[in-house]
Amino acid sequence: MKIKQSMRVSLMGLLATGFFALPVMADETEVPSGGQSMEWHDRWESMTPEERAKHRAEREALREQMKNMTPEEKQAFRKQHREERLANMTPEERKAFDEHRAEMKKRFENMTPEEKQAFRKQRREERLANMTPEERKAFAEHRAEMRKKFENMTPEEKEALRKKRHMKWKESQEGGV
């Protein structure tokens, strides 16, 4: 059970930030996922209580800062942080990161449709929980509008939209790394 939960947490973290886990945002009770998990655990264990307190304070400040950002600002922040982190990786770290990313992608692709649906539902609930009431309202209105448009489409138009959305997603994944 712990392994399955750990895999789920790992996969969620990676997918949530474009297959890139932000150690700064990890909960101190969980070992962050990724190729650096043992390194992170060892670093956490070697911290003094003062360093841990400082790290927690920084993480909380970052969470507060993220709460006040618009979705576009959050996306730009994550993209910038991801690019900085990838640029500062050694070749060995980059190789380990790419291998871990491929492994996590493979695990997700091997999930049953029910597991994927449950995973997506959990991610959606987490996103909604982090939204302000105004963002939730705007999201609900946008979703209702899109659903109405989709219901009025022909089967061919629906399939074309699905393909277009998939290509946009694929481009964002390739462009993010």
Residue 24 pLDDT class (50, 70, 90 cuts):
very low
Is residue 93 domain-shared with residue 168, that is, in the same domain?
no
> How high is the pLDDT of residue 23?
42
Is residue 140 domain-shared with residue 123, that is, in the same domain?
no
Residue 8: closest CA among 131, 102, 98, 115: 115
Residue 70 has pLDDT above 80, yes or no: yes
Is residue 16 domain-shared with residue 102, that is, in the same domain?
yes
Q: Which residue, of 114, 130, 146, is where some domain finishes?
A: 130
Enclosing domain of residue 98: 2-130
CA 98 – CA 24 distance, rounded (Å):
20
Is residue 53 domain-shared with residue 123, that is, in the same domain?
yes
CA distances from 70 to 58, 63, 134 (A): 20, 13, 11
Could you read off the pLDDT of 33-48 as tens digits, one per residue? 444 455 666 777 788 8
Q: Degrees (nearest 5) of the Cα angle 48, 52, 53?
A: 115
Is residue 174 domain-shared with residue 118, that is, in the same domain?
no
Residue 81's Cβ-side half-sphere holds a number of Cα atoms within 13 Å equal to 17
Is residue 123 domain-shared with residue 138, that is, in the same domain?
no
Task: State the total domains in the chain.
Answer: 2
CA 113 – CA 70 distance, rounded (Å):
32
> How high is the pLDDT of residue 44?
76
- The whole-model pTM stands at 0.38
Orientation of helix 91-109 relative to helix 2-16, angle to 10°? 110
Could you read off the pLDDT of 114-156 as tens digits, one per residue? 998 888 888 888 888 877 888 888 888 988 998 998 899 999 9
